[in-house]
Amino acid sequence: MENQRVIFLDYLRFFACLMVLVVHCCEPFYLGGPGTYVASLGDALWMGAIDSACRAAVPLFVLASSYLLFPVQGSTRTFFLRRIERVLIPLGVWMVLYACFSLTALSPIFGGVAEPTDVVANFKQLIFNFVPHAGHLWFVYMLLGVYMLMPLLSPWIEKVGKRGEEALLVVWLFTTTAPFLTRIAQNWVGNGDLWGYCPWNDFGALQYVSGFIGYVVLGHYLRTYVKELSWKKTLAWAVPLWLVGYAITFGCLWLFLPTSVAGYPLAELYQFAVDMEMSWGFCSTGVVLTTVAYFLIIRKFCSTGWLYRHIVLPVSKRSYGIYLMHMFVLTPVVVWLRSLGLPTVGVICLGVLLTYSICGAITWVLSFIPKSKYIIG
């Protein structure tokens, strides 16, 4: 099935890739210096409102993988070999590039200065994880873990039936409330550990039915049991789901933004940004709801006209390459745009447009190289 072209999934990848760039163009407006840095209430408003609408980017990519690959058809060996060729080897290539060059390597193109990088320290880090300035690569590590589980879960998904999947999805949806329950528990009893988690145990009661594997099951459920609806019925479901999900993601973020702290700019520890993003977690309730809403709407996109053939399809085919390289381009572009004194929303929008265009052009050129799949997927 993975070799068949599913039109709406090309649109899904196009928009998911766009959302990733939006999220990362928003980050400079609340991360900086020693950690959290909010320059103004206006920055907080624009950043929060735009970013909250795009947190579904990563889950949409997982849904696309599930829709095409789950349950696994054919031999497990063939499945893993294709993942090694298309995912793991390109990851290795770009991990080395991020280790060798700083994110400002392209800054001279935009009138800036490239910062030095400690190559030896970076290669030491690669033994254990991605280098710090290539934090977006966490997604690929997670995806590889999901791929490892797909063959194991395939026999189960083929036998469990609709009710069995629904039961798991209900439990999984409950686990998406964990970030909020953790905060409540911390405030009520002074300890945020839930259901068996403790300093000597990282694997609680719901460990194995939580996380991104829920999106894998959800992707199969949507493909198998949720028929494509008319536009009227699609919007009747998608709009309320999106509104509730967005209210949770943006509303909770706004509550925890330190708008009452006297004197901007605010600089705090990086952990403060992590806490502030409680409702932005990719497996949190609000993000799940907006993800389903986007999926239902995008599934209606079936046009194969000029826009699809010349823009959407090429980007979809190279979306993995764009994802892998985009921080090299995005960082100097955003720094340059901010130096021009543009308003926050202008920097975000132009930053996304320029980064998407430049990365799209680079991946298009790279696609002509023999064996380019080992570079851009």
Contact 112, 331 (CB under 8 A): no
Q: Nearest 5°: phi and psi at 60? A: -65, -40
Distances (CA, A) of 332 to 27, 70, 104, 327, 361: 14, 38, 6, 9, 17
For residues 168-185, average pLDDT: 92
Contact 208, 152 (CB under 8 A): no
pLDDT in tens, 360-376: 999 999 999 998 999 99
Residue-range domain boundaries for the chain = 7-159+216-221+229-376
1 confidence band (pLDDT: 50, 70, 90)? very low
User: Please, where are the H alpha helices in 101-201?
Assistant: 119-126, 138-175, 178-189
d(CA 72, CA 266): 49
Q: Which residue has the higher pLDDT, 168 or 277?
A: 168
Q: Which residue has the higher pLDDT, 213 or 102?
A: 213
Contact 91, 374 (CB under 8 A): no
d(CA 249, CA 179): 12
Distances (CA, A) of 196 to 70, 190, 203: 31, 16, 7
d(CA 307, CA 298): 15
Contact 7, 301 (CB under 8 A): yes
pTM of this structure: 0.92
Contact 25, 334 (CB under 8 A): yes
Q: Which residue has the higher pLDDT, 33 or 177?
A: 177
227 confidence band (pLDDT: 50, 70, 90)? confident
111 phi-psi bin (left φ>0, alpha ψ -120 to 50, beta other): left
